[in-house]
Amino acid sequence: MNHPIYVLGAGPAGLAAAYTLTKQQLSANPASPPTVCVLERENAVGGLAKSITYRGFILDYGPHRFFTKITPVLDLWQEVLGADQVTVNRLTRIYYQKKYFSYPLKAWEVLKTIGFWQSLEIVISYLQARLFPNKNPRNFAEWVTSKFGKKLFQIFFEGYTEKLWGIKCTEISAEWAAQRIKGLSLGKAIRNALFGNDGKVKSLVEQFQFPKLGSGQLYEKMAAYLREQNQQVQLNAEVVKIHHQNHQITHITWQDRITGELHQENCRALISSIPLSALIQQLEPAPPTEVVTAARSLRFRNTILVYLLIAGTDLFPDNWLYINDPTVGVGRVTNFANWSPHMLANHEQTPLCCEYWCNFEEPLWAESEEALLQRAEKELRSIGLLKDQAVIDGFVVRLPRTYPIYTGNYKEALATIQSYLSGFSNLQVVGRYGAFKYNNQDHSLLMGILAAENIDCPGKHDLWVVNSDSEYGEEAKADQATSAAKVSPIVRGNGLIRQFIKYLFTGGFATIVDALVYKTLVDITVPYKIALAIAFVFGLTTNFWLSRRYVFGIYWRNWLVQYVVFATVALNSLLANYGVIGILVDDLGWDAKDVITRLVSAACVAILSFTGHKLYSFAQSHPAQQQS
Residue 397: what pLDDT? 97
In angstroms, how far is the first alpha carbon of the chain from the final one?
50
More confident residue, 128 or 315: 315
Task: Look at phi and psi of residue 514 and say left if phi exceeds 0, alpha if psi is from -120 to 50, else beta.
Answer: alpha
Closest C-alpha to 546, from 601, 490, 604, 505: 505
- By mean pLDDT, which of 346-355, 490-499, 589-598 is the weakest? 490-499
The per-residue pLDDT for range 388-442, each reduced to its tens digit, is: 999 999 999 999 999 998 888 899 999 999 999 999 999 999 999 999 988 889 9
Residue 192: what pLDDT? 54
Strands 57-60, 85-89: pairing kind: unpaired
pLDDT band at 75 (very low <50, low <70, confident <90, very high): very high
pLDDT above 80 (res 107): no
More confident residue, 520 or 198: 520
Most confident of 120-129, 193-202, 216-225, 580-589: 216-225
The per-residue pLDDT for range 487-520, each reduced to its tens digit, is: 334 434 456 777 778 888 888 887 787 778 877 8
Beta-carbon count within 10 A of 200 CB: 11
What is the mean pLDDT of the segment spanning 116-131?
A: 82
Residue 481: what pLDDT? 35
Q: Which helix (H) or strand (E) holds 190?
A: helix 186-195
Handedness of CA 455, 457, 462, 466 (dihedral sign): negative
> How far is Cα 580 from Cα 587, in angstroms, rounded to an integer?
10
pLDDT band at 31 (very low <50, low <70, confident <90, very high): low
pLDDT above 60 (res 191): no
For residue 87, give the 3-state DSSP assignment: strand
Residue 488: what pLDDT? 37
pTM over 0.85: no
> How far is Cα 56 from Cα 45, in angstroms, rounded to an integer?
19
Domains of the chain, with CATH numbers?
5-51+64-87+211-297+407-475 (3.50.50.60), 105-205 (1.10.3110), 489-627 (no CATH)
- By mean pLDDT, which of 191-200, 511-520, 564-573 is the weakest? 191-200
Q: What is the DSSP string of 268-329?
A: SEEEE-S-HHHHHHHEESPPPHHHHHHHHH--EEEEEEEEEEEESS-S-S-SEEEE--TT--
Give yes or no for a contact between 239 and 267, defined as CB atoms under 8 angstroms apart.
no
pLDDT above 70 (res 85): yes
More confident residue, 159 or 213: 213
What is the mean pLDDT of the segment spanning 209-224?
A: 96
> How far is Cα 170 from Cα 173, in angstroms, rounded to an integer?
8
pLDDT band at 472 (very low <50, low <70, confident <90, very high): very low
What is the mean pLDDT of the segment spanning 565-591?
A: 75
Q: How high is the mean pLDDT of the chain?
A: 83
Residue 144: what pLDDT? 86
pLDDT band at 353 (very low <50, low <70, confident <90, very high): very high
Residue 581: what pLDDT? 65
Handedness of CA 38, 43, 49, 53 (dihedral sign): positive
The per-residue pLDDT for range 291-327, each reduced to its tens digit, is: 999 999 999 999 999 999 999 999 999 999 999 888 9
Residue 205: what pLDDT? 59
> How far is Cα 373 from Cα 368, in angstroms, rounded to an integer?
9
pLDDT above 80 (res 199): no
Give yes or no for a contact between 19 and 430, defined as CB atoms under 8 angstroms apart.
no
> How far is Cα 397 from Cα 415, in angstroms, rounded to an integer?
33
Beta-carbon count within 10 A of 291 CB: 19
Most confident of 165-179, 357-371, 614-628: 357-371
Distances (CA, A) of 13 to 10, 440, 544: 8, 11, 46
